[in-house]
Amino acid sequence: MAEIEEAARVLRIATARIDYRPEDNNHVLDVTVKSASGVGRLMAPQWSMVLDFKEGRIDWPTYVGRYQELMRKNYARYAQVFHALIRDVITEGKCLVLTCYCNTGPDCRECHRFLMADILEKIALNEGYEVCQEGELERRPTPAISPQPTLPGFGAE
Ligand SMILES: [Zn+2]
């Protein structure tokens, strides 16, 4: 019993590229300014900072500072939404996967999804949860056979 309760207190967090094909135990959350909806929008940067960075007007540390400031504001205003997400993911027994369009590699971690994973870790720890960061998930290769039919309501939108 105690073990079950303990396991139910661990938030698992991972990151992936937007075209990551989720597995059953994933709770995928698009956190992009381009296509996020719902709680994911609270984790998206602003277009202005994205463009400033992509077009070279600000460097990465400046971007990080702006993003963290934005998240501080969002958290101050919507703490309950962040807390509910963490609670739901843990209750589902899933791994929260934050996705974005940025192509990154082992040498490049310049995407806000990694910043958000660390911010969510801090929030969860502060709320008394444990956190397990599972890192960047690899895209799985497209299967050679035809994809299985999807159940109604579960297919790609
Ligand atoms: Zn990104």
Element (H, E) at 85: helix 60-92
Confidence at 6, pLDDT banded by 50, 70, 90: low
Q: Is residue 139 part of a domain?
A: no
Q: Is residue 149 part of a domain?
A: no
Q: List Cα–Cα distances, 36 to 44, 45, 56, 80, 100, in angstroms.
A: 7, 10, 24, 19, 9
Q: Is residue 74 part of a domain?
A: yes
Q: What is the pLDDT of residue 139?
A: 76
Domain span at residue 46?
A: 2-134
Q: List Cα–Cα distances, 64 to 17, 70, 103, 112, 156, in angstroms.
A: 19, 10, 17, 8, 32
Q: Residue 143 class from Cβ within 10 Å (0-12 exposed, 13-18 middle, 19+ buried)?
A: exposed
Average pLDDT over the chain reads 89
Q: Is residue 154 part of a domain?
A: no
In this structure, what is the dihedral angle of CA atoms 123, 126, 129, 133, given to the nearest 10 degrees? Answer: 50
CA distance 9 to 13: 13
Sign of CA dihedral 156, 147, 13, 7: positive
Element (H, E) at 98: strand 95-100
CA of 2 to the centre of ligand 1 (A): 39
Q: Is residue 77 part of a domain?
A: yes
Return the SS3 of 14: strand
Q: What is the pLDDT of residue 148?
A: 60
Q: What is the pLDDT of residue 143?
A: 57
CA of 50 to the centre of ligand 1 (A): 9
Residue 128 scores a pLDDT above 80 = yes
Sign of CA dihedral 74, 79, 82, 86: positive
Q: How many domains does the chain have?
A: 1
Q: Is residue 96 part of a domain?
A: yes
CA distance 115 to 112: 5
Beta-bridge partners for 14:
97, 135
Residues of the chain with pLDDT > 70, as a percent, come to: 83
CA of 126 to the centre of ligand 1 (A): 25
Q: What is the pLDDT of residue 53?
A: 96
Confidence at 157, pLDDT banded by 50, 70, 90: very low
CA of 151 to the centre of ligand 1 (A): 30
Tens digits of per-residue pLDDT, 24-79? 899 999 999 999 999 999 999 999 999 999 999 999 999 999 999 999 999 999 99
The stretch 77-103 carries a mean pLDDT of 96
CA of 105 to the centre of ligand 1 (A): 12
Q: Is residue 26 part of a domain?
A: yes
CA of 94 to the centre of ligand 1 (A): 22
Q: Is residue 144 part of a domain?
A: no
